[in-house]
Structure 1
């Protein structure tokens, strides 16, 4: 579907609306999802700015305890009456490690000690406290009742999906392979994000180790569209209207952008992290486990370089993520980007804008012009 034949309906070039399954189901003006930035990088301001411009704002709440999740939902509702998504991480067997033996804990501290010392921090004396319980988080999310429950690293239990349908909560999963897309559809998930290997942050594979599903978006997307009947949203390496137009032409009902919104002044990323996305070195990204214990894409820096040869000796997520959390906070406070987790997709070289409204306006204008030519 092209200009004036389905994707875009307008009486004039400036007052129309996009017409896709995503926009229809949620009453959006634009078929654009703001990627759910995890680990405290989401913000109420960013979700609100995206909503104001007609897209779907998303808030990553996987690190929040149930009451904090409910409080966040209340803040979002106070900021916007538009639909928004709350995003959780499902339990995933790959690199999942919540307990650690004393010998491995000591070895891990030995590997991380130079960074603690360099940042003037004391080594932890014991493993970190337990991560929030995923089932309790899901119960809180159902109570919060967002328009969209988005999730990664798996599929929620059947009873949770059933209750989402009863409450009118649209469910949005993430797939890195055709097999994962089929599994999401078979479970009754409403829509899915096809996440290409270009995407920044964690690889959200759940049926196989993530290395088995490093498929570029424009190879993955049409295969997923052909394999399932539910609407598909394209993600990974999209940062301008060219990527948006291409994804829509390949059958996507919308696009999801992460890095482009992470770089915006409304995100909760530090000024140092946002600035790093506009530097030449942002084009040099790497897939690494050294920050969290799970494979993720970020800008190659000194922290990655010094630990990459021992990354498989480090514990899995969420243990390693907890052990590096204080390091990452200290690196931000001391403005040491070489020691920060600088999550970024392979599209950073395309970034031009530093606020969400400008990102969406440019995205829409360029995609509209390209589709109009066809």
Structure 2
């Protein structure tokens, strides 16, 4: 908080597909750290988001990137995945041609070239860290480096690589798991259990994330030694969010629980259970490796959403969505700040 001049110990989780710079700007205006997700953006699109943020705010911000390895994928694996979806394509009478523009790409030197002139105050990463040449390049900008850990082993590895802070992402968190050491979901633990392990063994600041939806949860995390909390789900209904209509409706009315699924991207991520998950199973071995599951779902998602249905949409959500409110993010954070005594 001191280094960034924040008034609240809160980081807004970057939520690709559900926000742009506007949510980050509102959060920063309220004294917390706004984040801009760049994992689905081209270098020019990322720069455009930055420009728009900076036109409206001189507050610090966080740019978030994925840093996964692009795996090899066989045509047979892709064909088997499309066969899993064939019945849905026939039902909706749509062209099954994949939309390859939906692929999520990792942080690269091309992206670094484009954003280097801005020297972002904070850079956060998901799925580990970029290769050392890239990481050192970002460090040379003076950017604070943050990354997500889902286990103590990952947290210790991140600290050894020289990150400035570690996000302890508990199993309750919505969206993609930041797993990068193991693919075993049995290693994933609740937020406060992971937080306790990390604060005891790490010397860098720890940020708690997952299932925190109110001032009581924030206070508990801070009392346990967290330097800040990262909140995502709580912002999904805010005025400045770009959450889709079907996603908003599910957050407000769905009686379905959340579950971990690999269907929408190929990596485990938590979202509200919908028709696709119920039909194919939350975790299906036919889903190709991240990020190759996504392109074949784009047409299905668009067709269903045009009918007001979220059957094939990733309805990302943490386990606790009770804190979601249809108000400005500024008002939401003002209320939290007052409840916390800031």
**Secondary structure at 1:233 match in 2:** strand
**Which residue in 1 is equivalent to 2:53?**
76
**Which residue of the other structure, out of 247, 266, 276, is the alignment partner of 1:303?**
276
**Which residue in 2 is equivalent to 1:107?**
80
Higher gyration radius (CA): 1
Q: Deviations over 1:102-125 (max 9, x none)?
A: x3332222211222334442111x
Establish whether residue 27 from structure 1 lines up as the match of residue 5 from structure 2.
yes
Q: Output the CA distance in 2 between the equivalents of 1:165 and 1:156.
A: 12
**Which residue of the other structure, out of 214, 222, 231, is the alignment partner of 1:248?**
222
Q: Deviations over 1:274-297 (max 9, x none)?
A: 232122525x11111111111010
> How far 1:82 sits from its partner (Å)?
0.6
Where do 1:210-221 residues align within 5 Å? Answer: 210-221=184-195
Q: Output the CA distance in 2 between the equivalents of 1:269 and 1:127.
A: 21
Q: Output the CA distance in 1 between the equivalents of 2:325 and 2:207.
A: 23
Q: Deviations over 1:8-51 (max 9, x none)?
A: xxxxxxxxxxxxxxx1111111111000002x222121111101
**Which residue in 1 is equivalent to 2:250?**
276
Runs of 4+ in 1 over 4 A off after TM superposition: none
- TM-score between the two structures when normalised by the length of structure 1: 0.85
> How far 1:76 sits from its partner (Å)?
1.5
Establish whether residue 61 from structure 1 lines up as the match of residue 38 from structure 2.
yes
**Which residue in 2 is equivalent to 1:315?**
288
Contact preservation (8 Å) 1:185, 1:228: yes
**Secondary structure at 1:318 match in 2:** coil
**Secondary structure at 1:59 match in 2:** strand
Unpaired segments of 5 or more residues in structure 1?
1-22, 370-374
Contact preservation (8 Å) 1:44, 1:79: no
Q: 1:242 to 1:201 in 2, by over 3 A?
A: same
Where do 1:1-374 residues align within 5 Å? Answer: 23-38=1-16, 40-92=17-69, 97-101=71-75, 103-124=76-97, 128=100, 132=105, 134-135=107-108, 136-281=110-255, 284-308=257-281, 311-368=284-341
Contact preservation (8 Å) 2:236, 2:324: no
**Secondary structure at 1:340 match in 2:** coil
Q: Output the CA distance in 2 between the equivalents of 1:127 and 1:351.
A: 32
Q: How much is the aligned-residue C-alpha RMSD, in angstroms?
A: 2.1
Pick the structure with more helix per residue: 1
- TM-score between the two structures when normalised by the length of structure 2: 0.93
